[in-house]
Amino acid sequence: TLILAGLSMFGPFNVDAPLPAFGEMGAEFHVEPAAMQLVVSVYLLAFALMSLLHGPISDAVGRRPVMLIGIGVYVVASIGCALSTSLTMLLVFRMFQGFAAGAGQIIARTVIRDLFEGAEAQRLMSQVSMIFGVAPAVAPVLSGLLLQVGSWRTIFWFLVAFGIIMAVSVALSLPESLPA
């Protein structure tokens, strides 16, 4: 349940985590506050476009490979975000975060459907949805705390750590659920 819930948190964490740092990022990149909105817009557009493909790809090659590759791309993109030296560079890496983040979020629900039925599936889906619902509230608070100890880049390093933890969890504990 925790792994599937963690996978579902990729989307909301990535939308809301950078928000408290917009002022600091905008000042460093010498851009207007309105330009910083692109940090969310580019991510959401990439997430939406790739959301159409994660399911069919996981149906073709399996759930675990798509999740692990998606998380791997996400971690690399998060490192790129943390090391960005311009808004353009940050937006490119945010696009790759968006492409990759849906792999965990979308496929987590598919894994539930693959492995469980009836009341057990409903219970697990409601638990995952509850944790998913908490993520948008937790992400900006956590980011605010991270900004107390570091720069805006600390938020993206946290997302790198989150991605690595999720990749290890999936690799060690989540079975392939695609039926033969």
> How confident is residue 93, by pLDDT bands cut at 50, 70 and 90?
very high
pLDDT in tens, 35-85: 999 999 999 999 999 989 988 998 899 889 999 999 999 999 999 999 999
Q: How far is 142 from 105, CA to CA, in rounded Å?
A: 20
Instruction: Look at residue 42 in the predicted model and tell me its pLDDT.
Output: 97
Q: What tokens appear for 19 in the block?
A: 């928000």
Q: What tokens appear for 153 in the block?
A: 């880049």
Q: What tokens appear for 52 in the block?
A: 């159409």
Tokens 């399911």 appear where?
55
Instruction: Look at residue 3 in the predicted model and tell me its pLDDT.
Output: 85
> How confident is residue 159, by pLDDT bands cut at 50, 70 and 90?
very high
Q: How far is 157 from 58, CA to CA, in rounded Å?
A: 28
177 phi and psi angles, rounded to 5 deg: -115, -5
**pTM, full prediction:** 0.91
Mean pLDDT over residues 112-127, rounded? 86
The helix or strand, by DSSP H or E, that contains position 43, with its residue range, turns out to be helix 38-61
Let me know how many helices (H) and strands (E) the chain has, helices first: 9, 0
